[in-house]
Structure formats: C-alpha cells, structure tokens
Amino acid sequence: MQLCWFRNDLRIQGNPALANALKLGPTCAMYIATPDQWKLHNDAHIKLDFWRRNLAALEQELLQLGVDLLYFEVRDYKQIPELITGILSQLEISHLHYNREYPINELRRDRAVEVVCKDAEVNVSSFDDQLLFSPDSLLNQSGLPFKVFTPFAKKALSLIQDNSRLHTSPTHQQSGIPKKSKITLRRLQYQCELADIEWPDPVSNWEEDWPAGEREASKRLSEFSRQRISTYKHDRDIPGYDSTSKLSPYLNSGILSINDCWRNAQDFFDNSGVESWRGELLWREYYRHIVIHFPHVCMHKAYRDNLGHVPWRHDKTQFDKWCNGETGYPLVDAGMRQLRETGWMHNRLRMITAMFLSKHLLIDWRWGERWFMQNLIDGDLASNNGGWQWSASTGVDAVPYFRIFSPTRQSRRFDSEGAFIRQYLPELAKLSDKAIHEPEDPGQLGYLQPIIEHSFARDRALNAFKAP
C-alpha cells in the first residue's frame, strides 16, 4: 500500500507526491492535524478555516480517484513519528510519499519521520512541490546561496527557457483501496473524522470571500491572467483597485501550484504586467530559498547580525494602537483595519504598515511579524518573515535603514482620491480628496491625532540604526 501525506499541497492536479504514489500502486492518503503546532506558528483562524474547507473539497476529489483521505490529530510535530509508526504497521504501508516543506520545524519533523520509516523498512519519496527550482539548482558561481535578489532572479530566468522547464505531474486513477485495509483503518488509535478536529468557528463571509477547492483556484488564476495581469505593473500598488491576483491563500496552501502560476503567466507574456507579476513570484521563491539556506531566520532572529545595537521598543500601548488601526495616519489605519476585517491586506499596505511599526514606532519587527501571521489568511513563514525583515532593514537584500516611508506621502501617491481610506475609515468619508490624507481637527471627526510626528520618528530611527 502507498501512503500519500498531504500538508501544504491540498490539490490533485500537478501534485508530484500523489502522482508518484498512484503510479506505484493502490494508495491511501492522510492529513495530520496539529493544533498546538498551529498555535506555536501563530496560524490565523481564517487560515485554519480555509484549510478545513479545502480539505473537505480535497476529500471529495480523492474519492473520485478511489483514494480515501484519513484524518489524524496529535498535539504537535513531536508526536507525529510515533503516530506514523502505528500507521505504517497497521496499514501495511510499503512507501510514504510527501511534498517537502522548508521551515526548520517542518524539516526536523520530516527527518524524524524518515528515521521511523527506515526502521520499518518503508521507502520514502519526497518532492520540491512548493518551489520553481530545487534549492541546490539556484546558487551563485561560487556554489553559495544568493544574498541579493537581482542576480537570483536573473539566474532563475535564465534557467527557464520555455514551458518545458516546468513539469506538471500526471494524476493516475486507481481502482480503490483493498477491503482488508479499509477494515484495518477503523481500528487505528488516532483516526478521527474531519469534523472531529477542533477547527475555529467560521465567520459568515469567509466562505464567500475565499471559496475552497482547486477548481476555484484555477478559475481565479485564469480570470486574473485574462482580465487584470496586463495592467498589474501599475495598478498593483493602488489599494483602491481590485488589481492584485489574491491568489496567495491558494498558492501558500498548495491548492494552486507555483508551476501553474508561472506557466499561466507565460501564456500571456506580451506586456510589462506579466513581467512584473513574474517578479513577485520570484520574490516568493527567493524568500523560500533564504529560509532553506539561512534557517536562523525561522528562529525569531534577524538575518543580519550587525544590528544588535538597535534599541527595539516594546511599547504595548502603541503596538495595540497600530494593531487596531488607531495611529492617526489614515492609510496606515485603513490597511490595519482591512487586515482585521478581511484577513487579508494589500501588498503595498503590508510594506507601509510594517515600516511604520518598525521605523516610526521603532517597535520590534517580530511583534508585527507575529500579528500578521495571527490574522492573515495567506500567512506564510518565508514570505511574511522576508517582508518584515525587508521593511525593518534587518533582512537579506533589505531596504536601506535610512529609507523610511512617509505615510502621508504614500497615501497621496497610492490612494490619491482617498477611495481606499473611505472604505475602511468611514469617519473621514466626507473629507475632500486632499484633506483626507492629513485631516485637520481629527477629533471633531471621531478620528485620532497622529500617534507620532513623522520628522521626529524619522530622526529617531536614523539615530537608532547608526552603528554605535
């Protein structure tokens, strides 16, 4: 019996682990819930609900292939090797298949599982499903990881000459799980139903805003490519436009393949918008390679070790105001309220709000990194950590420490008519397009005075980052 272990790859099509398992013989699949690990990783309730709904969709798709999806629940990753030892023996598994995950906790988990599989004389096959390139194929001329994005992207593009570089794994049908195994499944100590897993209570609009299933993901990819990708280069920075793909929840949960995204973009490679979107996909790839080659960034540590002198503040009062969208800077507050209300935030606003916390308030960037993970449906360790360390100037190829966004200038540039601000700050809706970016007498409007003055904050940050 082949066993396919689903993690962040909740799809049928183009799934190398599943395809390999089905090619070798009768297959069953499993998903292991780890509630304590989810808490440790600060996974947002909206993201957990998204997983739940996509697992239900995956279960139905697998049944059409004659594959049962089994659910198990343990507290955390440390309990998984013992669980899998029992599964291997009771199901008479000969081969385990899975797609790799790259953060340090996941790597340690998988190494421990490989040990118990070796002891049980069970073969293991793993695949690079979340990457366009294997980690050892994108190195510089010295055989070392790239520390600057531009040469990384240049080499990546040189490796992709045509669509043949990106492979789609076939999906093979099978006749079903043998009856003997189905009887044994009911006796597994850890088996549970999908409904038995302690998922968070859903919010009514989550399913409407983020429908589940790989068919929906493919539909959204197609619609984006045909309708919005051509103007993506310009429009993607304007939060009031519906211009970004909003595919990240599907991509980060593996409901959509990174290869399919790249290939789909290449089908429309006739304008700068496609080139710009491919650049964003390469930034995603870059941060994943950073996590693999520099695992200390997974341990709440800055990539750069020469900034230990920065006196990060831990002001809970100001941090709470930032979290609640109460800083007195309209675009910052609108972005933070969008996050709280929808579980998603426009990418330009992620940079603006992250830099505001780390530079204007000089609050430890790790607090913001954690808050984003606790609220984002597309929260992803590599991309989230990379984005925060870029904004805080602590990361690999990060923004220079002296580059500090003016929230008001950003607001006037990217929300010039105030459309986005009005959507999330209705108390400012009646202000003119000019006044809405820097309201006078905000208290009379039910709004707030700025939490800090921009020039003061900028000078303080510059002095803090200068070497002692």
Return the active site residues. 280, 283, 312, 347, 365, 388
Distance of CA 352 to the CA centre of its chain: 18
Say if residues 318 and 361 touch (Cβ distance below 8 Å).
yes
* Amino acid making up residue 320: D
Return the bridge partners of 191, or none.
72
Query: H-helix or E-strand containing 31?
Result: strand 27-33
Residue 172 DSSP one-character state: -
Question: How, if at all, do strands 191-192 and 69-73 pair?
Answer: antiparallel
Instruction: For the beta carbon of residue 121, count every other beta carbon within 10 angstroms.
Output: 8
Question: How, if at all, do strands 95-99 and 69-73 pair?
Answer: unpaired
User: Which residues, 6+ apart, have CB-to-CB distance to 132 below 8 Å?
Assistant: 156, 160, 166, 258, 259, 262, 281, 285
| Residue 401, token pair as written in the block | 């420490």
d(CA 51, CA 338): 21
Which of 259, 303, 301 lies closest to 284 in space, CA to CA?
259
HSE-CB of 321 using CA atoms within 13 angstroms: 19
Instruction: For the beta carbon of residue 72, count every other beta carbon within 10 angstroms.
Output: 21
| Residue 361, token pair as written in the block | 């308030």
Query: H-helix or E-strand containing 321?
Result: helix 316-323
